[in-house]
A and B are shown apart, each in its own frame.
Chain A
Amino acid sequence: MYRYDEFDHTFVRERVAQFRDQTLRRISGELTEDEFRPLRLMNGLYLQLHAYMLRIAIPYGTLSSKQMRQLAFIGDKWDKNYGHFTTRQNLQFNWPKLEDTADILQALADVEMHAIQTSGNCIRNVTADHWAGVAADEIEDPRPWAELLRQWSSLHPEFCFLPRKFKIAVTGAEADRAAVAFHDIGLKIVRNADGEAGFQVLVGGGMGRTPMIAKVCRAWLPKGELLSYIEAVMRVYNLYGRRDNKYKARIKILLHEEGDDVFRKMVDEEYEKVKAAGGVSHLVPEKEIARIETYFAPPIYDALPDEDAQLTQHLRANSKMARWYEVNCAKHKQRGYTIVNISLKPEGGIPGDATSDQMRAVAGIADKFSLSEIRVSHAQNLVLPYVRKKDVVAVYHALEKYGMASANLGLVTDIIACPGLDYCALATARSIPIAQAISKRFEAPERQKQIGDLAIKISGCINACGHHHAGHIGILGLDKAGKEFYQITLGGSADEHASIGTIMGPGFSDAEVPTAIEKIVDTYIGLRQPGETFLGAYRRLGAAPFKEAIYAQAAE
């Protein structure tokens, strides 16, 4: 993991002191709420329905056990003993007091964490593949570049007052687990014809009320040019992005209105100027990236056989554990190791919530069995990236003790949901109770296994924090004359074959949603070919049979 040096420490400490000063000036009335809002947002502090919410950055979803313990401590001391992991790989506390926030930020700074740019019209916390560094299908580890982007974007002098928020995601693997095509900038490490690794730069993806898949802006960029190229993209956006309407202010709209080719030309021209002005200094110094890379060097792995005989035996004896292992553990690039995915989606639970006790338990397990490292996935789950297969049984039992052994990764009950109207001031409908009801409906493990891979994603408003556009089944909560209703979309996907879901038709009431989902799932089961996933079946069959299933009764 990256470790702060003196420079990073001082930077974050000074930022905390600055925010403390800004908070005091707000409390004294020196700053108006209008003035304070962008300042607090740039430090992750929102005003929600019932209280402030503090969003803490977990850069590219990587956490140490020490940091996880500190989050648990903060939850106990200044919040209600729990936190909420988000689709941005961040953690939100829902109940902090304004006057405590500077102390919370100080407690974060003590463990090399912060809330810088987790909100506001700036470059947000950079996200990455949560299996980075350990995934079997990885070309190169994207984390050094994600860390470099974190540093480069922190209090960027030019790009902190953009037309709108700006999100960057990075992946170094063939399978896209970071949803890069749904980001303002998506970066994929790819090899060119000569076999050299560089970045494919995608621009203009996003969700919200105008979902768009990002376009390739540069098919292959030498890695050292990354920051200068992004600077050019950002400058074009900062100067020409729309500011007259916040719903049309994201870079995707600029790209769409200018057209791909014109936009690309604008960026290329700007980039040539950046290069000409910067000379060699437009390149990332090799020494600096080498310095960062040393922090992400692979650990010294034990030499182990790929299969662990004892584990195999245990799995034979315990079918529940065997199902969990099959569903939640993923192929590691190192022999004898596995990636353990901890589901934060207990059947009927609140997606992404973890109590302070659970956080401490995960920290303890990581210390014992995963080199003290934890990841947060954009699907609101946790990951233990370095588990030896021979430790899997112990890990499973430890997780089970804290209610974190749900065997549902990627299955129908592994639902992504935003906080919705239970917390959020922007929401038009509740998300959490819908997720809970669907999860309850499908809780039987055999049924989940039979259904297979299925991503249900729920947003409580058009802003799409629950990624409904990218859900195999997407659910969008809206408000019609004071009543919540839910629109269903099918066929979205956030992976390397990204697609935006199609709206099926009129919405459903909250009570009707689980049954509608059930009809969709049953239709799939009835029509699927051997080995065909839900998404595969939908893409083959189209919307018609699913529409018929959910609207047939209404028509009768």
Chain B
Amino acid sequence: MPLIKNGHYIDDAYIRIEGEAPVPDDGDVLVDAVRLKDDTAVLRPRQGKLGVLLMNTVDAEELVPHLSKLALVALEFPQFHDGRAFSQARVLRHTLHFKGEIRATGKPMADQAGHLVRCGFDCFETNTRQPLDVWQRALDAVRGVYQRDYAGLGDVVRKDL
């Protein structure tokens, strides 16, 4: 699936490691979050970045012990209207101060672009029917944000203009 970041298509640098499959010695890898628990193959020092895919039924706080090792957290939208990942992203960014990349995977929709960005996502998986320009248009559609703290502007609601 194509990836969009900063208004451009990007190549996915991460190799998806499905299930219990072995983790190569180098290269950026994306593993299931559950493998962080006690999987030494994942946790050993190695060349390349580590990313995890977190199910939307798991607390983002479970990543806390490993957060500093993670360059990417991918959150899932099994359907675009299943909005749990919005809260997971918000917790990662706001409560846990995660500074790495947060990727929306599964079936996020371009029309959700504003919501995604404000909750802390910076990379989106998209489908061929919603090309780059649709995402960009959605991002610019409503520029005002009442929830200033979600826009990184500090307060819980907007102040005077």
Task: Write the residues of chain A forming the contact surface with B, with a CB cutoff of 8 angstroms.
Answer: 5-7, 10-11, 14-15, 17-18, 21-22, 30, 35, 38-39, 121, 148, 151-152, 154-162, 227-228, 231, 235, 238-239, 243, 273-274, 276-278, 281-285, 287-288, 291
Q: Measured between alpha carbons, how far is A157 from B142 in the docked complex, in Å?
A: 12
Residue numbers of B with Cβ under 8 A of A are 59, 80-84, 86-88, 90-91, 94-95, 109, 111-112, 114-119, 129, 137-138, 141-147, 149-150, 154-161
What residues of B have a CB within 8 angstroms of the CB of A160 in the complex? Answer: 83, 86, 115
Q: A11-B146, A157-B118, A161-B83 are in contact. List 9 more A-B contacts (CB 8 A).
A: A6-B161, A7-B161, A10-B144, A15-B141, A18-B142, A158-B119, A278-B156, A281-B155, A281-B156
Residues of A within 8 Å of B117, CB to CB, are 157
In contact, B83 and A281 (Cβ under 8 angstroms): no
Q: How far is the CB of A232 from chain B (nearest CB, A)?
A: 11
Q: Select which of A235, A283, A288 is within 8 A of B87 by beta carbon.
A: A235
With a cutoff of 8 Å between Cβ atoms, the chain A residues found around residue B157 in the complex are 148, 151-152, 227, 284-285, 288
Least CB distance, B40 to chain A, in whole angstroms:
30
Q: Please, how many angstroms separate the alpha-carbon atoms of A311 and B130 in the complex?
A: 66
When distances are taken between beta carbons in the complex, the residues of chain B under 8 Å from A288 are 155, 157-160
Known: A18-B142, A21-B137, A35-B109. A157 touches B156 (CB 8 A): no
Q: A17-B141, A158-B115 are in contact. Are A284 and B156 (CB under 8 A)?
A: yes
**In the complex the two chains form, what is the Cα distance from A282 to B146 in whole Å?**
14
Bound Cα distance from A35 to B157, whole angstroms: 30
A300 to B60, CA, bound (A): 53
A162 to B161, CA, bound (A): 30
Task: Knowing A235-B87, A238-B87 are in contact, say whether A161-B81 is a contact too (CB < 8 A).
Answer: yes
Cβ contacts A to B, 19 pairs, < 8 Å: A6-B161, A14-B141, A22-B111, A30-B129, A35-B109, A152-B146, A152-B147, A157-B116, A159-B86, A161-B83, A161-B86, A161-B115, A227-B156, A231-B156, A235-B90, A238-B83, A278-B149, A285-B156, A288-B158
CA distance A288 to B146 in the complex (A): 12
Partner pick for A157 among B82, B86, B111, CB 8 A cutoff: B86
Complex Cα–Cα for A21 and B113 (A): 15
Select from chain B the residue with minimum beta-carbon distance to A227: B156
Q: A243 touching B82 by the CB < 8 A rule?
A: yes
Residues of A within 8 A of B111 (CB): 22, 35, 39
The answer for the CA separation of A347 and B41 in the assembled complex, in Å, is: 77
B150 x A158 contact (CB < 8 A): yes
Q: Which residues of A contact B142 (CB under 8 A)?
A: 11, 14-15, 18, 155
